[in-house]
Amino acid sequence: MRYLVCIKQTPDTAELPKISAEEAASGKLSVNLVVNPWDELAIEAGLKLMEDYGGTTGVITVGDNGAIDALRSALAMGCKDATLIENSDADAWGVAELLAAAIKQDGDVDVVVMGQMTVDGNSGAVPVALGRKLGWPVLTSVSKVIAADEASITVERAVGQARITVQVPTPAIISVNKEIGDPRYPTFINIRKAARVNVPVLSAADLGVDVPGPVATMANFRKPPARDAQVTLFDGSAQEAAAALVDALLAEKVL
């Protein structure tokens, strides 16, 4: 069995509020970049698949040369191989196109594992877009893998307020949520191994992909209006403060 985790290097979530409209428009960010937190969960899921059902777990990303750091982090967590598709222009559809080509070229992938979304683009579109391009089933919001073998994978999905156990034939794509389990820490031995792994760098041309131009135009990047909240504090005993609060909320017509 071969599992391939698709990850993205994204800003450290603590630094997201610092990103200016100009930086967002140019894509040139001055913040610290790390593995997208949802993708750390995907790496964990990919490693658990390897441990529970055998096989190897690789990792792949689309990004600029600096994204190799994200791949090294995944290797340090235990992924066995890593590939960089060097491209910083593709939108979600272009990324799906590039990943689809790389997965076809790999030829052995049984399960693609992804995070639910990225903390920068926030679209959550790539897993489904990739599934359509490959013609593979896509299971989003996976909370638990129940079984996997050469022929099929069975998972639990969290959909709205329901839990759905569903089976699909492989090859397939899953995107995982946080219930899959806390991402493990890199081990000393894996960090040393990671430093020695040769990471192939592929271009769109290597994959025979003519990266499609963006399907949407983006304009007017801006910071959201600040909350004009000036906090009103209620003092006194808990009972007095609570009564004053409830009066204020009734006046706001939110109760």
Partner 1 sequence: MNMKYLVYIETDNGQVVASSWEALGAALSLSDDVEALVIGSEIGDIAQCAAKRGAKKVYVVDDASRAIFDLEQQLADVKNALDSSGAGAFLASHTLNGSNLAVALATDNGAGVIVDALALSADGDSLTGVRGIYSGNVLVDVSIAGSPQIATLRPRAFAAAEDVGGDGEIVGMAAADVASPYQVLSIERAESGEVSLTEANIIVSGGRGVAKDPEQGFAYIRELAGALGAAVGASRAAVDAGFIPYEHQVGQTGKVVRPDLYIAAGISGAVQHLAGMSASKIIVAVNKDEEAPIFSVANYGIVGDLFDVIPAITAAVKEKLS
CA-to-CA separations, 156 to 72, 78, 117, 179, in angstroms, rounded = 30, 24, 18, 10
Distance of CA 114 to the CA centre of its chain: 6
Contact 40, 114 (CB under 8 A): no
Q: How far is the CB of 145 from partner 1 (least distance, A)?
A: 13
CA-to-CA separations, 208 to 132, 203, 230, in angstroms, rounded = 19, 9, 56
Nearer CB in complex with partner 1: 81/120: 120
User: 90 by DSSP, 3-state: which?
Assistant: coil
Residue appearing with tokens 């390897």: 50
Contact 69, 33 (CB under 8 A): yes
Q: How far is the CB of 200 from partner 1 (least distance, A)?
A: 27
Nearer CB in complex with partner 1: 196/227: 227
Decide the pairing of beta strands 111-115 and 2-7: parallel
Q: How far is the CB of 255 from partner 1 (least distance, A)?
A: 7
Decide the pairing of beta strands 33-35 and 162-169: unpaired
Distance CA 82, CA 72 (A): 8
Q: How far is the CB of 138 from partner 1 (least distance, A)?
A: 7
Contact 100, 130 (CB under 8 A): yes
Q: How far is the CB of 182 from partner 1 (least distance, A)?
A: 8
Nearer CB in complex with partner 1: 84/100: 100
Q: How far is the CB of 195 from partner 1 (least distance, A)?
A: 29
Distance CA 86, CA 64 (A): 5
Nearer CB in complex with partner 1: 164/189: 164
Distance CA 75, CA 191 (A): 7
Nearer CB in complex with partner 1: 82/96: 96
Nearer CB in complex with partner 1: 123/187: 123
Q: How far is the CB of 49 from partner 1 (least distance, A)?
A: 19
Nearer CB in complex with partner 1: 17/188: 17
Which positions ≥6 away from 212 have C-beta within 8 Å?
93, 94, 97
